[in-house]
Amino acid sequence: MPKPGYRKPNAKKRSVRQRAYQGKPEQRKNRSSRNKARRKLKGCKGKDVHHKDGNPKNNSRSNLRCVSKSKNRSRK
């Protein structure tokens, strides 16, 4: 078992600001919403969830589809 406070040499350390931002209630709610959308598409392992209408808050099953990460993140 590693010593307390030990991290792998190549592991990235998150800044205090970044941890504080990700712990805000609004960000936790957004992350929860994204995870729910991923769970609705069970066969979407290793891919991104694309919202057809472009609204990330609309997580109805008919609005979601699986696409590759590179294709989803290159969209504008």
Q: Mean pLDDT across the chain, nearest whole number?
A: 81
Q: Is residue 68 part of a domain?
A: yes
User: Taking 80 as the threshold, does the pLDDT of residue 69 lie above it?
Assistant: yes
Alpha carbon 40 to its chain centroid, in Å, reads: 14
Q: Is residue 65 part of a domain?
A: yes
Instruction: List, in sequence order, every beta strand (DSSP E) within the chain.
Output: 48-51, 64-67
pLDDT band at 1 (very low <50, low <70, confident <90, very high): low
pLDDT band at 64 (very low <50, low <70, confident <90, very high): very high
Q: Is residue 4 part of a domain?
A: no
pLDDT band at 76 (very low <50, low <70, confident <90, very high): low
Q: Is residue 52 part of a domain?
A: yes
List, for residues 11-47, the tens digit of each pLDDT value: 567 777 777 777 888 888 888 888 888 888 888 888 8
Full domain range(s) for residue 34:
16-74
Domains in the chain, number: 1
Q: Is residue 5 part of a domain?
A: no
Q: Is residue 7 part of a domain?
A: no
What type of residue is 73? R
